[in-house]
């Protein structure tokens, strides 16, 4: 097979794939929403799900400031930016091969459909009216509330952590305090059994760690006591007084012996001299 033929086949396959994608986008724009969570041609890892949340947050933000706002304000004639249109444009203008497309479409479909119930759930734990929320914070809370209520396979701590990551990427500096407080209270209400089980597990872990610390401390005290007793029982140095070079009254045996030798030498010499004198 020549290189030219290979290039022709590759170009044909690319054109076919692009045509299929264009058909899917067109059908989505027309309202034919067939979202499939198991789209095998796209990633389904944790990173891909995280990217799906990011795209969903941006899409929900756009919807909240257009169609949703016009709906709330009673300007129904202005509505021309439906969630499925936003999703279709997003897929047409972005490289989505590393995004969990199924989960992205699910959020873009279900959250707008459940907006009233989700807003009511959020409002229970807010210290202000929900329309006073920053739009980015509102979109992040909608995703968090949706996952807490509908995606039970995702641990609530993961939901809270992912909401913090969304805020770090898109939100204001201090917004994480509000988001964390609202979702934490919501988790206690929506995921009561899971939160209770997690609290009990943390309590058991802390008690176990406390007992281990007490055991280590007791071992350290016992070891220190044994070391002290061993030092106390060790033999001490001799109590004999040291001989100082400055104490002249202490006679050393070597000096006494030398003096005796000198006296004996003098006595012998004197005796020899006396003998010679007599002779």
CA pair distance 84, 67, nearest whole angstrom = 12
User: Which of these, 89, 82, 91, lies nearest to 63 by C-alpha position?
Assistant: 82
Instruction: Specify the higher pLDDT residue, 206 or 27.
Output: 206
User: What is the homologous superfamily of the domain 114-213 according to CATH?
Assistant: NusB-like (1.10.940.10)
Q: Which residues contact 100 (CB under 8 A, 6 or more apart)?
A: 42, 43, 44, 45, 48, 49, 51, 52
Is residue 31 very low, low, confident or very high in pLDDT (cuts 50, 70, 90)? very low
What's the mean per-residue pLDDT of the chain? 78
The stretch 260-275 carries a mean pLDDT of 71
C-alpha neighbours within 13 Å on the C-beta side of residue 189? 12
Which tokens is 262 given?
A: 């000198």
Radius of gyration (Cα) for the chain, nearest Å? 45
pLDDT of 53 reads 96
pLDDT of 68 reads 87
Is residue 253 very low, low, confident or very high in pLDDT (cuts 50, 70, 90)? low
| Burial per residue of 80-98, b for 16 or more beta-carbon CB atoms within 10 angstroms, e otherwise | eebbbbbbbbbbeeeebee
The stretch 236-244 carries a mean pLDDT of 53
Residues in the chain: 279
| Burial per residue of 188-226, b for 16 or more beta-carbon CB atoms within 10 angstroms, e otherwise | eebbeebbeeeeeeeeeeeeeeeeeeeeeeeeeeeeeee
Q: What is the pLDDT of residues 76-102, one digit of tens each?
A: 656 678 999 999 999 999 999 999 999
pLDDT of 37 reads 46
CA pair distance 140, 143, nearest whole angstrom = 5
Which tokens is 19 given?
A: 């045509």
Please state the φ and ψ torsions of residue 251, each to the nearest 5 degrees.
Answer: -90, 135
Q: Where are the domains of the chain?
A: 18-113, 114-213
Q: What is the pLDDT of residues 138-166, one digit of tens each?
A: 999 999 999 999 999 999 999 999 999 99
Cα maximum dimension of the chain: 162
């Amino acid at each position: 097979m020549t290189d030219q033929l290979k290039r022709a086949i590759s170009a044909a396959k690319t054109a076919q794939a692009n045509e299929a994608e264009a058909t899917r986008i067109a059908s989505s724009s027309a309202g034919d929403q067939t979202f499939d969570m198991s789209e095998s041609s796209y990633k389904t890892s944790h990173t891909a799900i995280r990217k799906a949340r990011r795209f969903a947050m941006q899409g929900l933000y756009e919807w909240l400031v257009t169609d949703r706002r016009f709906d709330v304000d009673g300007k129904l004639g202005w509505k021309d930016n439906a969630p499925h249109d936003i999703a279709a444009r997003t897929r047409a203008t972005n490289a989505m091969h590393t995004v969990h497309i199924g989960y992205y479409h699910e959020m873009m479909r279900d959250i707008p459909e459940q907006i009233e119930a989700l807003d009511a759930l959020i409002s229970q734990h807010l210290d202000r009216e929900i329309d006073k929320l920053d739009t980015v914070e509102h979109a992040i809370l909608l995703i968090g509330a949706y996952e807490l209520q509908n995606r039970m396979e995702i641990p609530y701590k993961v939901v809270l952590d992912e909401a913090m990551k969304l805020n770090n990427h898109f939100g204001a500096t201090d917004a994480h305090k509000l988001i964390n407080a609202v979702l934490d209270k919501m988790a206690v209400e929506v995921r009561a059994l899971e939160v209770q089980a997690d609290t009990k597990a943390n309590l058991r872990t802390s008690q176990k760690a406390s007992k281990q610390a007490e055991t280590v401390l007791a071992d350290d005290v016992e070891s220190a006591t044994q070391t002290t007793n061993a030092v106390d029982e060790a033999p001490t140095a001799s109590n004999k007084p040291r001989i100082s070079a400055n104490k002249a009254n202490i006679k050393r045996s070597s000096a006494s012996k030398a003096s005796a030798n000198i006296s004996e030498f003098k006595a012998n010499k004197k005796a020899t001299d006396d003998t010679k004198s007599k002779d």
